[in-house]
Chains A and B, each alone.
Chain A
Amino acid sequence: LILTGVQIDDSGLLPLIAVASVNELQAEVLRAMAGNQAIYPTGGQTMLNYGLSPSRPGWAVDLCGLNRVIDYPARDMTITVQAGITVARLQQILAKENQRLPVDVPLAERATLGGALATNMSGPRRYGFGTWRDYVIGISVVNDQGEEVKAGGRVVKNVAGYDLCKLYVGSLGTLGIITQVTLKVRPRPEKQTLVELQCPLDKLDWLLESLNGAPIRPCSISALNPPAARQVLGPGFPSSVEDGSKPITDWLILVGFEDNKEAVAGQMARLQQIAGMESMLQRQWQDGESQSIWTGLADFPLASGEPLTFKANLLPRATAAFCRQAAGMPEVESLQAEAGNGIVVGHVAPGLTLDRAGAMLTTLLETAAAADGNLVLLRCPPHWKSKLRVWGRPRRDFGLMRAIKEKLDPRAIFNPGRFVDGI
């Protein structure tokens, strides 16, 4: 079934073929093999333009039709589903058994599980609960021969064979097309609280370090500059009444706690006892009233119409300095850091020139690299992609990456040209 077409960067309109079964997907791969064409897998199309531009002719395959729940033995706390299910629907199914996946995915109503795994997107709760690699225990993919192959299994502990689950997560669809996934799930916490702190930028380093050493176990530590805070909390930020004479420059820190009631209450009490922090404490949101804020934090990387969005990863200790540097650049609009993990996402305002973008990104990349990190672009104008470092600085193990791509997809059928260094 040809739906319509889809455009990835400046690819022109690629035919978009929806598959309703694994067999149909296998047939598409065989057809691509025979015709020496490429396949560009798509899900909810929330990150369609992520990465470099397609390098080979071919067509897109829409996987949203592969959305069945295969098995949900809730008491074993695992679930096996097809990869085209949306993350939001998966969470709804789990919620009926008072369970969840504690991985935040932007635009979860649209994003598919397969897409979330391929892009390895995660959000604020990664500080407390980890990322996709910690939850995928079994995976099936259609490989370059059109075969459906699997790795892992359906039990939470299993070391039989190579753990190809790890390889497919975050491979941007370049090694095969994920069809089915078995996940470890977690109980929903009894209590959720989000705490707001306001902090001048020059105190951010102190605050983050204090939170790191404090006798608390938050599940998220997000730091937002004022525009990002308005984006996530709405125009009501900040909570304090302003006289309108001085600009709002404080950063907003949202600290999340999820546990049983007593453990969350105990941590709230301790937070208030940390010297120097009590004056920064502002509002708190409990349980249901915190949901839209968690969602706002999770959606932030994709929730902007700005033309360019970067994501830096670096050592957590360098987060505040990076934020200070980025906030000092006039083009940078909103900034959100998952500060416990050293992840910073920034949206850049329109009006940017290619030269200026290049200079700005080079500076920020150098800062991230000095803190053992890197900087990639989640989004940028397609015609800039050949000029900017979309995937940041080269990796040290690049030769090995290419060797793996060549062994598992020698004909470059899957999403060619788009991943790190044009893999």
Chain B
Amino acid sequence: MPTAAAPTIVDRLRSIVGPQGILTSASDLLVYECDGYTIAKNRPDVVVFPTSTDQVVDIVRACNEADVPFLPRGAGTSLAGGCLPVGGGVMIALTRMKRILEVSTRDRYAVVEAGVVNLWLSNHLRPLGYQYVPDPSSQGACTIGGNVATNSGGPHTLKYGVTVNHILGLELVLPDGRVVQTGGPAEDNPGYDLTGVIVGSEGTFGIATKAWVRIVRLPEAYRTLLGVFETVDDATNTISDIIGAGIIPGALEMLDQLILQAVEAAFHFGFPVDAGAVLIMEVDGLEAGLDQDAERIAAIARKNRAREVRQAKSDAERLLLWKCRKQAFGAVGRLAPSYCTQDGVVPRTQLPHILREIQRIGSKYQVRIANVFHAGDGNIHPILLFDERDADQVKRVLQASHEILEECLRAGGSVTGEHGIGVEKIDFMPRMFTPEDLAMMLRLRAAFNPDNRCSPAKMFPTAGACIEPSKAGRRAAL
């Protein structure tokens, strides 16, 4: 395969995006050698920053003519190596395509370019009384295009759904340079739901340049409760009972003792650092009826031996609570020099079991594990703490991660609820799917990306790939 850095294609790319829209020097490219999954690293040969769909088309055509692989990148917050340029090639960074093109509150949609940051959109909509619901913890940085690629979640998905439930249509530059629009602002367009299947395809179907997203009314009011529990079991039983009672909270998040201590040290919220676990339980919607739901939730928590149930007294207190939750990962820096966030899913009723297993696995491998996660969805995020300079620790962290995910599968779950397969979890795909299942997925990919030139070596195990990603990734950390 010719290298992307061969002068001809770099010159051509430069003529497409201009000298300010391209990076080629080794030091500049260093930034793009990995995303939020820092265990695997590989430098792209060149990074380009298009500002329009037309430029993306020209870039893709140039790559095709030069027979060079390419992949899209948003803010690079993927935690699974979704933006890792396996085998090098051209990285197409969409961060300069950042316009909000249209908002219609009457028809409840917005049209945005792929590089619009998730939080910008919600900030833009708030004065209108609307929001774009999916709010991953990285929402201050991550882009809508990246959210589309990974079908991102966030704390509010329990009630409102994940990214795919909020994407109405897409503009996609296909790997051969054709531009298609799937779906659009009106519902029920006849034909296959291509939008639905492009969401979550992790950049392997082409490059999404524009999205029609659903917007919803802002909740009129919230009731945000903090339940303090002696044990993780009591907290998880509370979650099961709330859902079982027919209440769908806007969010239901759990933090265990270790993460509480880190968060408290960072934000001084007043969390009881001796508690086994706390639950953030939030109901939202119209004012009428919220108190009743909040009271029922508090009663359920007390029935499950909550030591204390507090209610946020003001908007400021509520926002601080959410800040603690969303920046919990940052606070982990106080506990260890490195950490690895896992992403697994179990049926909700299996939460007590999986948390006990995580504890057991942590002891077995002598790895400290903190837990902060979307409890209502059964989507766990164990954070494995380590020091990446210590090869033995890295090895134990990887083994423990693997064993936790195995346990999720045994419990009837999935190895990823919102981070994606990327390169990190390719090894698990044959565990979740039969060869026939995987063959169907590859046939589908062939309809979009027949040469596999766009985002190669992602999601699926491939015989004879340039590198065997997870193993190479592991070596990179050592």
Q: Please give the residue numbers on chain A whose beta carbons come within 8 Å of chain B beta carbons, in ascending order.
A: 73-78, 98, 120, 126, 130-131, 133-134, 143, 145, 147-151, 153-167, 169-171, 175, 186-188, 190, 209, 212-213, 215-217, 259-267, 311, 313-317, 341-343, 371-374, 376, 391-392, 395-401, 403-404, 406-408, 419-420
Contacts and interface: CB of A to CB of B under 8 A. Distances in A.
Interface of B: 104-108, 150-151, 153, 157, 161-162, 164-165, 174, 178, 180-182, 184-197, 199-201, 217, 220, 240, 243-248, 285-293, 345-349, 374, 377-379, 412-421, 425, 428-429, 432-434, 436-441, 443-448, 459
A376 B190 contact: yes
B244 A75 contact: yes
B288 A262 contact: yes
B418 A167 contact: no
26 contacts: A74-B244, A126-B187, A131-B187, A134-B161, A143-B440, A151-B437, A158-B417, A159-B420, A160-B415, A160-B421, A160-B433, A161-B441, A163-B199, A187-B245, A187-B247, A260-B289, A260-B293, A263-B285, A315-B104, A315-B107, A341-B188, A374-B186, A374-B189, A392-B190, A396-B181, A419-B191
A130 B162 CA distance: 13
10 closest Cβ pairs, A-B complex: A266-B288, A166-B196, A263-B289, A187-B246, A262-B289, A157-B417, A158-B414, A403-B447, A313-B188, A76-B347
Nearest to A156: B377
Nearest to A154: B412
Nearest to B411: A155
A162 B201 CA distance: 6
B436 A147 contact: yes
B127 to A, nearest CB: 15
Contacts of B439: 149
Contact of B348 (A75, A145, A399): A75
Contacts of B345: 155-158
A315 B161 contact: no
Nearest to B193: A166
A144 to B, nearest CB: 10
Given A162-B445, A215-B220, A216-B286, A154 B107 contact: no
A155 B344 CA distance: 10
Given A151-B437, A157-B418, A158-B417, A130 B161 contact: yes
A216 B374 CA distance: 28
Contacts of A260: 289, 292-293
B187 A342 contact: yes
Nearest to A264: B289
A267 B447 contact: no
A189 B247 CA distance: 9
Nearest to B348: A76
Given A75-B244, A262-B292, A396-B180, A162 B287 contact: no
Given A188-B246, A215-B220, A407-B443, A401 B199 contact: no
Contacts of A131: 187-188
Contacts of B437: 149-151, 161
A235 B86 CA distance: 68
B25 to A, nearest CB: 35
Nearest to B163: A159
A77, A154, A157, A317 pick with most chain B CB within 10 angstroms: A157
A151, A212, A396 pick with most chain B CB within 10 angstroms: A396
A203 B290 CA distance: 34
A317 B188 contact: no
Nearest to A120: B188
B348 A77 contact: yes
Contacts of B201: 162
A314 B188 CA distance: 9
A160 B349 contact: no
A258 B417 CA distance: 29
Given A154-B412, A262-B288, A163 B197 contact: yes
Contact of A395 (B178, B190, B240, B414): B190
Contacts of A74: 244
A355 to B, nearest CB: 24
Given A77-B348, A259-B289, A262-B292, A161 B189 contact: no
